């Protein structure tokens, strides 16, 4: 599980552990937060690993630490991601590259490394956290939208490549979820968002976590290449 030290990632880690999973999750800089989550997780055998998803050598080192500790991996959740929002005419090339390298290329590195273990075992489920912005686009977020839309297409393609090995890949596409990012919005901004959502409320991190749990479990064993929307009806397809 990448990006498990806060927000949606922390909710996923906690729900998986609560349901009996041994969870290894990464953090980039919030070691104290990761350690606090680890300490409170039910069960035992959990791991935290430091990783910079945009740095290939960091990803490789993290994957080595994981596979040295665990010989089997049944599920993968790619949740870590960044934003560097700006209108196109003001966006720096390095900010575009940084978002693509982290949100898309980084997930490519994780999936390439861990899908080998799953293919050998002939079982496994990979869940990629994309976004409603990757489905609708959003002014000022062209880099983020491109990375998340690319992740959906990447997921569909790899699902076709390795489905014969009983390894599944799906996406969860959250809408506006109550996190640190939405916590920075004022009440007028929150109300404007809610007015666009048919269910007239923001989602909770646990809403996304339950969708991830479903896609990792055998209850979704005949689903692959699918994007499950958790957005209150903001985008329907």
Gap between the Cα atoms of 66 and 217, Å rounded? 21
- Take residue 139 and report the two structure tokens written for it: 């002014």
Q: Establish whether 235 is a catalytic residue.
A: no
From residue 60, give the alpha-carbon distance in Å to each of 69, 156, 209, 214: 14, 24, 26, 28
Distance between first and last Cα of the chain: 27
From residue 31, give the alpha-carbon distance in Å to each of 14, 37, 38, 196: 17, 10, 10, 36
- Take residue 38 and report the two structure tokens written for it: 């680890």
**203 phi, psi to nearest 5 deg:** -80, 165
Instruction: Catalytic residue, from 27, 144, 222, 235: name it.
Output: 144
Gap between the Cα atoms of 40 and 59, Å rounded? 26
Strands (E), 51-185: 75-78, 124-129, 167-174
Distance of CA 28 to the CA centre of its chain: 14
The neighbour count for residue 122, using CB atoms within 10 Å, is 10
Gap between the Cα atoms of 155 and 143, Å rounded? 18
Active site residues: 144
């Amino acid at each position: 599980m990448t990006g498990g030290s806060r927000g949606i990632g922390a909710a996923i880690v906690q729900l998986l552990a609560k349901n009996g999973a041994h969870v290894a999750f990464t953090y980039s800089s919030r070691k104290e937060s990761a350690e606090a989550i680890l300490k409170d997780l039910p069960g035992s055998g959990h791991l935290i690993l430091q990783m910079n998803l945009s740095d290939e050598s960091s990803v490789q080192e993290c994957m080595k630490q994981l596979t040295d500790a665990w010989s089997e991996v049944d599920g993968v959740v790619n949740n870590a991601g960044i934003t560097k929002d700006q209108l196109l005419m003001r966006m720096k090339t390095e900010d575009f590259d940084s978002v693509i390298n982290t949100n898309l290329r980084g997930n490519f590195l994780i999936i390439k490394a861990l899908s080998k273990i799953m293919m050998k075992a002939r079982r496994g489920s990979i869940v990629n956290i994309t976004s409603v912005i990757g489905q609708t686009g959003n002014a000022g977020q062209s880099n983020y939208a491109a990375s998340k839309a690319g992740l959906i297409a990447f997921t569909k393609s790899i699902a076709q490549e390795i489905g014969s090995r009983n390894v599944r890949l799906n996406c969860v596409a959250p809408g506006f979820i109550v996190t640190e990012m939405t916590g920075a919005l004022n009440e007028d901004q929150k109300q404007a968002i809610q007015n666009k959502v048919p269910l007239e409320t923001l989602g909770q991190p646990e809403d996304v976590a339950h969708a991830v749990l479903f896609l990792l479990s055998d209850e979704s064993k005949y689903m692959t290449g699918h994007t499950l929307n958790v957005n209150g009806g903001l985008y329907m397809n």
